[in-house]
Structure 1
Amino acid sequence: MNRVQDLIAYKKGFELAMDIFQLSKSFPREEQYSLTDQIRRSSRSVCANLSEAYSKRRYPKHFISKLTDCDGENGETRTWLEFALACAYITKDIYNTLYDKSIEISKLLNYMILNPEKFGSKG
C-alpha cells in the first residue's frame, strides 16, 4: 500500500465528503457561508489530514496526532449534520445514513491510531 487513496478510511471519507457536497447543494442560499461551507470544509478535512498523516507516517507521534485531527474533523461533520437535521435541510433517514458512515470512518481511524505500525509507522 503506497498511496493514501488506497486506505479504506480515505475511500470512505472521500465518499462521505462527496455525499455531503451533493446534498449541501440543496441547502438554502442563506446558509452558503455558514452551514454549507462548514460541513463541506470539515468533511473534506478528514481526507486532507489523512493525506498529511500518511506522508508523515514514519514519525509515530506525528502520524497519530494527524489521525486524531482527522477524527476531530469527522466529529465536527457529525455536529453539522445534526444542525442540518434540526433545520430540516435533511431527512432523518439521510442523517442516519451519513451519521453511520461517519461512525464507520471513526472506527477505521481509531484502528489506525491504535495500530500505527500496520500503516508503516516506525515504532
Structure 2
Amino acid sequence: MSFKFEKLIIWQKAMDLAEEIHELSKKFPKEEIYNLTSQIRRAADSIGLNIAEGSIGQTNPEQGRFIGYALRSLAEVVTCLYKAKRRKYINDSEFQKFYFECFNLMNMIVGFKKSIK
C-alpha cells in the first residue's frame, strides 16, 4: 500500500535533494539561521510537498498548478545557492553539483507537467 506520489521519480528526487540541501546548509554561518539557511531549507522541502499535494485527487489543471509551485520552489533553491556561493558559504564545486541536480530535476518536472496535460 502506498500513495500515488511515492511512485513518482520526481517526488523521490525532490526528497533526496531536500535532504542534501539540509546537510549543505549546516555549513552556513549561524547568523544565517533565520535567513538564508531557513529559506533554502523551506524551498527545498516545498518541492516534494507540492508534488505530493498535487497528486492527491486533483484534476489535471490542479495538479499542473501544484507542479508549477514545485518548479517555483526549485528556482528559489537555485537562487539561494547563488546567494550562498556569492557569500562564500559554499565553494564552486558544491555549487556546480547542486546546480546540476536542480537543473536535472527541473527538466524531469517540466517533462512530467507536459505529460499530465
Q: TM-score, normalized by length of structure 1?
A: 0.89
Root mean square deviation of aligned Cα: 1.4
Q: Deviations over 1:35-62 (max 9, x none)?
A: 00000000000000000011134x0110
CA separation in 2, counterparts of 1:2 and 1:93? 36
Task: Find the residue that maps to 1:44 and give its secondary structure.
Answer: helix
**Contact kept? 1:12, 1:101, Cα under 8 Å:** no
Q: Deviations over 1:63-83 (max 9, x none)?
A: 101101100000010000000
Structure 1: 5+ residue stretches without partners: 118-123
Runs ≥4 residues deviating over 6 A: none
Which AA in structure 2 matches 1:108?
M
Counterpart mapping for 1:9-48 below 5 A? 9-48=10-49
Shift of 1:112: 1.2
CA separation in 1, counterparts of 2:88 and 2:52? 33
Shift of 1:19: 0.7
Which AA in structure 1 matches 2:113?
I
CA separation in 2, counterparts of 1:34 and 1:56? 35
| Identical aligned residues as a percent | 26
Residue 57 of structure 2 is matched in structure 1 by 56
Task: Find the residue that maps to 1:61 and give its secondary structure.
Answer: helix
Shift of 1:2: 5.0
CA separation in 2, counterparts of 1:8 and 1:77? 19
Aligned residues: 116
Residue 7 of structure 2 is matched in structure 1 by 6
Shift of 1:22: 0.6
Instruction: Establish whether residue 114 from structure 1 lines up as the match of residue 110 from structure 2.
Output: no
Q: TM-score, normalized by length of structure 2?
A: 0.94
**Contact kept? 2:18, 2:44, Cα under 8 Å:** yes
Residue 85 of structure 1 is matched in structure 2 by 85
